């Protein structure tokens, strides 16, 4: 047995992580199997429309990451342990506020039994002390603190009474009323005492505390109804599409809807168009030589026509004779007498997909060209290098304007010559529209499905900023593209991405997997990137 | 074949009728396909069954460079001249061992095809390079494993349809805690805490993780605690940090771990 090591804090340092809405959502899924959106669009934390709404920024003085986690976990604890609503009929405002304090304490106690670490997120926000005064608001905060923190001993008799009514034991482990609907009687008794103390309660300005706790609007739906009536219903998370007219010549493709976790059949339509030719305004050949690229793409395979070694499929007679002679001469015998077929030619199809959305017009971060120009240059070089290894290559550009209009511009079809005209068509790709990557991938997969001999691969050249005009959920198209990639891989198709911009590298990794994404910062990095992705 | 015999009983906690089913399949020498997530106990199960049935066990970890010759055998040279060296599959077939091809789907398609004549009623292995048709020993049996994750390649139907399949899942939390406690030599309390976190990571499967924490990972975390590492730190090292490099997923894992202890 080793000596006990001191345990360093895991998250004590402020700023570890960013507590993005997505990571909070994943956290809640891991903790409670909850699937609830977390949005940063509210003034105060609250639960509404099936989502946890948090302010965009933590209150002053609070660590952003820890506070957002604390707030999200508290609201989620209500979703897990609280009833959908409380019956507030006949309750005075102060008793409602007390039911809120008690219900907060109840769900936090239950949550901490399962997940003791949550206490470390919540306790630092409980700062009320006797020095803060003895108004109703402060007493409610002091009650909240004494119910949350077993180590806090408040001298006020009313606060102590609240604790004694709520917990049966001194350690704060055993709740007197573990069921939510029974909290009302404790709240009524405490409310009665406040009345006896002649303390005034300002219900209108009251906001439950500490600041990480939600505002309880879900608890009293009749009170929140007026407020809801004032707010227009938000659009559905995924789609609120103005339905464009469908083009009958287009190819329908399904799309993955992450919210219902199902493919929507024939949801997108891909329209194929020939690409226009234009003289290249940049000279792709100068970026990196096709020969060096081809070597990179073949480098992983056995070098010569025959490869001798310890392993292999056939005996090499020459090596056997040499070995026999060496043995007779008493010299060391080279045991590498087997030879294997070299794989210096590849067979199969490669499809290069160039993202020509409007964002591709922006400047490439590592040079003076636009991202689309860089993407076209890379596509040209990769196409020639891949064709040089023996693969049949096709190149297409894609963009979209809503789900019914995904545009597919065929630059080079399988079997067409990779000549100057093809280069001109590639250079002629213009930027515009959005990026519906999943639909483009499925269309490409359909083209590859016609060829089932040898290897099949798709190389996407994009900034991975997937979006479309009819989608408002930033994760929707990412998950759809990820689904398309997984489907392709199940079909034995390799899918990889050359990134032209690092701003959406996270999305790219999510879609393609970290090992299938590369972002060359210059011409010299292209061979190694291609070798890693499609070599 | 003595080197391939399993001397002492490998610990395996049965979770259903898989032991009886394996025995029934072995009695009729039916090839078996073990399906299940990584680290859920497939390999341990095969070791346990080989010990139980008293058969030697030849295990091959398949990979995408594995050639048919690697399985079947090849000619080597020594002082006397050339000498045939049986590959693991030929060795098992010749001497009546159980041949276990771990993660068969990782092997190249042409490699998988060599097992076909062994996996049907013919029970033969053609050794073309040696001009020999090797008839399998009566005790020979073929077992392969396969992790059907969302990113996994699929087995060819012609391969798949030669096998009976046994599906494996992670054990129920109480049973998994008992397994972790037994494997790592930790208290049931410590094991239960580690397993509870492991179960949380599995909820992220399909939401950033291809697989949640395997039982094997949880045993490793428990083993770290026996070296004086606090369970929270051990889970971070053996599970959270090992599972994902995706910043968003890693952050959620570390936060879930922080909440768990």
Share of chain A above pLDDT 70, in %: 83
DSSP labels, A194-224: HHHTT----TTT---SSTTS---TTT-HHHH
**Interval A363-390 mean pLDDT:** 86
> Same domain for A330 and A428?
no
Confidence bin at A200 (pLDDT 50/70/90): confident
pLDDT at A289: 54
pLDDT at A316 over 70: yes
Of A20, A120, A323, the CB nearest to B248: A20
Which site among A26, A38, A112 would you substitute to test the B interface, given the most B Cβ atoms closer than 10 Å to its Cβ? A26
The verdict on residue A363 lying in a domain is: yes
- Residue among A448, A449, A378 nearest A413 (CA): A448
Exposed/middle/buried for residue B116 (C-beta within 10 Å: 0-12, 13-18, 19+):
middle
Give the domain-ending residue among A195, A227, A259: A227
| Beta carbons of B97 and B140 less than 8 angstroms apart | yes
pLDDT at A240: 38
Q: What is the layout of strands, in order, in the sheet containing A262-274?
A: A251-257, A262-274, A406-412, A392-400, A348-355, A455-462, A493-499, A517-518
| Residues in chain B closer than 8 A to A464 (CB atoms) | none
The verdict on residue A244 lying in a domain is: no
Q: Which residues contact A378 (CB under 8 A, 6 or more apart)?
A: A287, A461, A498, A500, A520, A526
B260/A324 Cβ within 8 A: no
pLDDT at A8: 47
Render pLDDT for B41-87 as a digit per residue (tens, 0 to 9).
Answer: 999 999 999 999 999 999 999 987 788 888 999 888 777 778 899 99
| Residues in chain B closer than 8 A to A16 (CB atoms) | 251, 254
pLDDT at A344: 56
> Same domain for A429 and A478?
yes
The CB-based long-range contact list for A313-316 (8 Å cut-off, 24+ gap) reads A313/A338, A313/A339, A313/A340, A313/A341, A313/B67, A313/B68, A313/B69, A313/B74, A313/B129, A314/A338, A314/A339, A314/A340, A314/B129, A315/A339, A315/B75, A315/B82
Render pLDDT for B134-148 as a digit per residue (tens, 0 to 9).
Answer: 999 999 999 999 887
Show the beta-strand stretches assigned E in A261-405. 262-274, 306-309, 314-315, 338-341, 348-355, 392-400
Of B207, B230, B248, the CB nearest to A29: B207
| Beta carbons of A14 and A63 less than 8 angstroms apart | yes
Query: Interior CA angle at A123 toward A118 and A128, to 5°?
Result: 155
The verdict on residue A9 lying in a domain is: no
Cβ atoms within 10 Å, residue A265: 9
Residues forming a β-bridge with B85: B74
CA pseudo-torsion sign A265, A268, A273, A278: negative
- Residue among B148, B57, B37, B45 nearest B98 (CA): B57
pLDDT at A129 over 60: yes
| Residues in chain A closer than 8 A to B255 (CB atoms) | 11, 17, 19, 23, 27, 69
Give the domain-ending residue among A341, A370, A404: A341
Q: What does pTM read for this prediction? A: 0.65
CB pairs under 8 A between A and B: 137
Domain-wise residue ranges, chain B:
2-167, 173-260
According to DSSP H, which parts of A33-117 are helical? 64-81, 93-114
Which chain A residue has its CA at the smallest distance from B244's CA?
Answer: A514
pLDDT at A232: 42
> Same domain for A95 and A198?
yes
> Same domain for A186 and A84?
yes
Of B150, B226, B256, the CB nearest to A30: B256
Which chain B residue has its CA at the smallest distance from A16's CA?
Answer: B251
- Please tell me the distance from the alpha carbon of residue B26 to that of residue B45, in angstroms, as a whole number: 14
**Interval A342-371 mean pLDDT:** 84
Q: CA torsion angle for A372, A373, A378, A381 (degrees, to 10)? A: 140
pLDDT at A395: 94
The verdict on residue A223 lying in a domain is: yes
The verdict on residue A463 lying in a domain is: yes
Which chain B residue has its CA at the smallest distance from A319's CA?
Answer: B77
B232–chain A Cβ distance below 8 A for any pair: yes
| Residues in chain B closer than 8 A to A320 (CB atoms) | 77, 82
A486/B203 Cβ within 8 A: no
Distance (Å) from the C-alpha of residue A277 to the closest C-alpha of chain B?
A: 38
**Interval B193-220 mean pLDDT:** 92
> Same domain for A381 and A433?
yes
| Beta carbons of B89 and B72 less than 8 angstroms apart | yes
The verdict on residue A233 lying in a domain is: no
pLDDT at A17: 58
Render pLDDT for B126-185 as a digit per residue (tens, 0 to 9).
Answer: 998 888 999 999 999 999 998 876 556 678 888 889 999 999 999 999 999 999 999 999
What CATH code is carried by the domain that includes residue A413? Answer: 3.40.50.410
**Interval A293-304 mean pLDDT:** 54
- Please tell me the distance from the alpha carbon of residue A144 to that of residue A101, in angstroms, as a whole number: 6
- Residue among A145, A124, A142, A123 nearest A134 (CA): A142
> Same domain for A158 and A89?
yes
A11/B74 Cβ within 8 A: no
**Interval A439-449 mean pLDDT:** 90
Alpha-carbon distances, residue A432 vs A144, A237, A375 (angstroms): 55, 25, 14
Q: Which residues contact A443 (CB under 8 A, 6 or more apart)?
A: A251, A253, A270, A398, A406, A408
A506/B200 Cβ within 8 A: no
Q: Which residues contact B146 (CB under 8 A, 6 or more apart)?
A: B33, B34, B35, B103, B104, B105, B152, B155
What is the Cβ-side half-sphere exposure of residue B232, based on CA atoms within 13 angstroms? 18
Question: What CATH number does the domain located at B2-167 have?
Answer: 3.40.50.300
- From chain B residues 31-60, the ones with a CB under 8 A of any chain A CB are none
Alpha-carbon distances, residue A297 vs A317, A535, B223 (angstroms): 31, 4, 43
- Please tell me the distance from the alpha carbon of residue B237 to that of residue B217, in angstroms, as a whole number: 10
pLDDT at A442: 93
| Residues in chain A closer than 8 A to B254 (CB atoms) | 10-11, 16-17
- Please tell me the distance from the alpha carbon of residue A114 to that of residue A461, in angstroms, as a whole number: 46
The verdict on residue A8 lying in a domain is: no
pLDDT at A169: 86
According to DSSP H, which parts of chain B are helical? 18-27, 42-53, 68-72, 88-95, 109-112, 157-160, 173-184, 188-202, 215-225, 231-235, 241-243, 247-260
> Same domain for A121 and A205?
yes
- Please tell me the distance from the alpha carbon of residue A250 to that of residue A266, in angstroms, as a whole number: 11
Distance (Å) from the C-alpha of residue A115 to the closest C-alpha of chain B?
A: 5
Q: Pick the range with the lowest mean pLDDT from A52-56, A297-301, A408-412.
A: A297-301
- Please tell me the distance from the alpha carbon of residue A508 to that of residue A496, in angstroms, as a whole number: 10
Of B69, B77, B261, the CB nearest to A312: B69
| Residues in chain A closer than 8 A to B230 (CB atoms) | 4-5, 7
| Beta carbons of B139 and B50 less than 8 angstroms apart | no
| Residues in chain A closer than 8 A to B193 (CB atoms) | none
pLDDT at A383 over 70: yes
- Please tell me the distance from the alpha carbon of residue B39 to that of residue A468, in angstroms, as a whole number: 40
The verdict on residue A237 lying in a domain is: no
> Same domain for A282 and A210?
no
Q: Which of A182 and B100 is assigned the larger pLDDT?
A: B100
Render pLDDT for A7-50 as a digit per residue (tens, 0 to 9).
Answer: 444 444 444 456 788 889 999 999 999 988 898 888 899 998 88
CA gyration radius for chain B? 21
Share of chain B above pLDDT 90, in %: 72
- From chain B residues 66-95, the ones with a CB under 8 A of any chain A CB are 67-70, 74-77, 79, 81-82
User: Which domain does A524 fall in, by range?
Assistant: 251-296+345-534
B228–chain A Cβ distance below 8 A for any pair: yes
Query: Interior CA angle at A263 toward A261 and A268, to 5°?
Result: 135
Query: First vs last Cα of chain A: how many Å apart?
Result: 48
Give the domain-ending residue among A286, A313, A341: A341
| Residues in chain B closer than 8 A to A327 (CB atoms) | 79
> Same domain for A185 and A311?
no
A23/B248 Cβ within 8 A: yes
> Same domain for A431 and A485?
yes
Alpha-carbon distances, residue B162 vs A97, B12, B67, B117 (angstroms): 67, 27, 21, 10
Alpha-carbon distances, residue A391 vs A101, A415, A443, A496 (angstroms): 68, 10, 20, 16
DSSP labels, B208-249: TBSS---HHHHHHHHHHHTTT--HHHHHIIIIIHHH---HHH
Residues forming a β-bridge with A402: none
A18/B233 Cβ within 8 A: no
Cβ atoms within 10 Å, residue A234: 14
Q: Which residues contact B237 (CB under 8 A, 6 or more apart)?
A: B221, B224, B229
A117/B260 Cβ within 8 A: yes
> Same domain for A285 and A313?
no
Domain count, chain A: 3
Exposed/middle/buried for residue B52 (C-beta within 10 Å: 0-12, 13-18, 19+):
middle
CA gyration radius for chain A? 32
- DSSP 8-state secondary structure symbol assigned to residue A239: B
| Residues in chain B closer than 8 A to A10 (CB atoms) | 232-233, 236, 254, 257-258
> Same domain for A337 and A199?
no
Which site among A30, A119, A336, A511 would you substitute to test the B interface, given the most B Cβ atoms closer than 10 Å to its Cβ? A30
């Amino acid at each position: 047995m080793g000596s006990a090591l001191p345990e360093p804090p895991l998250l004590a340092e402020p700023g570890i992580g960013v507590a993005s809405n997505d990571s909070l959502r994943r956290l809640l899924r891991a903790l409670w199997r909850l699937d609830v959106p977390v949005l940063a669009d509210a003034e105060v934390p609250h639960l509404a429309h099936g989502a946890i709404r948090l302010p965009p920024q933590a209150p002053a003085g609070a660590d952003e990451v820890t506070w957002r986690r604390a707030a999200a976990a508290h609201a989620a604890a209500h979703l897990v342990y609280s009833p959908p609503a409380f019956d507030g009929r006949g309750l005075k405002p102060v008793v409602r506020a007390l039911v809120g304090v008690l219900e907060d304490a109840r769900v936090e106690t239950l949550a901490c039994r399962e997940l003791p670490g949550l206490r470390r997120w919540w306790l630092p926000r409980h700062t009320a002390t006797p020095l803060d005064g003895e108004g109703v608001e402060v007493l409610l905060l002091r009650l909240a603190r004494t119910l949350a923190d077993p180590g806090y001993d408040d001298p006020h008799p009313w606060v102590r009474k609240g604790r004694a009514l709520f917990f049966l034991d001194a350690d704060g482990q055993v709740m007197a009323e573990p069921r939510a609907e029974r909290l009302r009687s404790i709240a009524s008794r405490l409310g009665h005492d406040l009345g006896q103390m002649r303390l005034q309660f300002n219900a209108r300005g009251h906001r439950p505390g500490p600041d990480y706790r939600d505002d309880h609007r879900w608890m009293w739906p009749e009170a929140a109804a007026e407020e809801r009536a004032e707010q227009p219903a938000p659009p559905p998370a995924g789609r609120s599409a103005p339905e464009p007219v469908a083009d009958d010549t287009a190819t329908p493709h399904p799309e993955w809807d992450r919210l219902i976790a199902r493919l929507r059949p024939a949801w997108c339509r891909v329209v194929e168009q020939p690409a226009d030719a234009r003289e290249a305004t940049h000279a792709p050949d100068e970026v990196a030589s096709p020969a060096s690229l081809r070597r990179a793409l073949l480098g992983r395979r056995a070098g010569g026509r025959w490869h001798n070694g310890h392993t292999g499929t056939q005996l090499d007679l020459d090596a056997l004779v040499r070995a026999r002679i060496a043995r007779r001469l008493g010299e060391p015998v080279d045991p590498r007498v087997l030879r294997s077929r070299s794989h210096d030619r590849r067979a199969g199809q490669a499809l290069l997909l160039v993202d020509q959305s409007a964002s591709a017009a922006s400047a490439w971060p590592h040079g003076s060209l636009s991202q689309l120009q860089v993407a076209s240059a890379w596509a040209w070089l990769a196409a020639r290098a891949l064709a040089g290894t023996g693969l049949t290559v096709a190149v297409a550009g894609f963009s979209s304007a809503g789900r019914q209009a995904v545009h597919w511009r065929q630059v080079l079809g399988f079997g067409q010559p990779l000549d100057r005209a093809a280069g001109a068509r590639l250079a002629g790709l213009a930027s515009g529209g959005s990026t519906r990557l999943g639909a483009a991938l499925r269309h490409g997969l359909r083209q590859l499905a016609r060829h089932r001999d040898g290897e099949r691969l798709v190389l996407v050249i994009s900034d991975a900023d997937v979006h479309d005009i009819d989608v408002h959920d930033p994760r929707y198209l990412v998950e759809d593209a990820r689904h398309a990639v997984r489907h392709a891989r199940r079909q034995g198709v390799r899918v990889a991405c050359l990134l032209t911009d690092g701003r959406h590298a996270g999305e790219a990794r999510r879609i393609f997997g970290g090992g299938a994404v590369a972002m060359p910062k210059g011409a010299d990095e292209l061979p190694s990137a291609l070798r890693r992705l499609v070599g | 074949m003595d080197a391939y015999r399993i001397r002492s009983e490998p610990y395996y906690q049965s979770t259903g009728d898989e032991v009886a089913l394996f025995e029934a399949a072995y009695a009729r020498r039916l090839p078996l396909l073990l399906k299940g997530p990584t680290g859920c106990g497939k390999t341990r199960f095969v070791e346990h069954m080989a010990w139980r049935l008293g058969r030697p066990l030849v295990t091959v970890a398949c990979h995408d460079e594995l050639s048919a010759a690697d399985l079947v055998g090849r000619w080597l040279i020594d002082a006397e001249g050339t000498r045939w060296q049986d590959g693991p599959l030929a060795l098992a077939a010749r001497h009546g061992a159980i041949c276990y091809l771990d993660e068969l789907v990782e092997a190249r398609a042409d490699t998988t095809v060599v097992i076909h004549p062994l996996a049907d009623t013919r029970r033969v292995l053609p050794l073309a390079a040696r001009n020999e048709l090797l008839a399998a020993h009566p005790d020979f049996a073929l077992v392969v494993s396969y992790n059907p994750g969302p990113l996994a390649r699929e087995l060819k139907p012609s391969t798949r349809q030669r096998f009976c399949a046994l599906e494996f899942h992670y054990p129920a939390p109480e049973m998994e805690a008992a397994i972790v406690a037994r494997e790592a030599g930790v208290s049931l309390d410590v094991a239960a805490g580690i397993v509870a976190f492991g179960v949380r990571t599995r909820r992220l499967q399909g939401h950033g993780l291809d697989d949640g924490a395997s039982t094997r990972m949880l045993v490793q975390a428990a083993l770290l605690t026996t070296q004086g590492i606090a369970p929270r730190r051990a889970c971070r090292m053996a599970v959270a940090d090992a599972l994902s490099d995706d910043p968003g997923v890693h952050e959620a894992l570390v936060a879930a771990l922080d909440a768990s202890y």
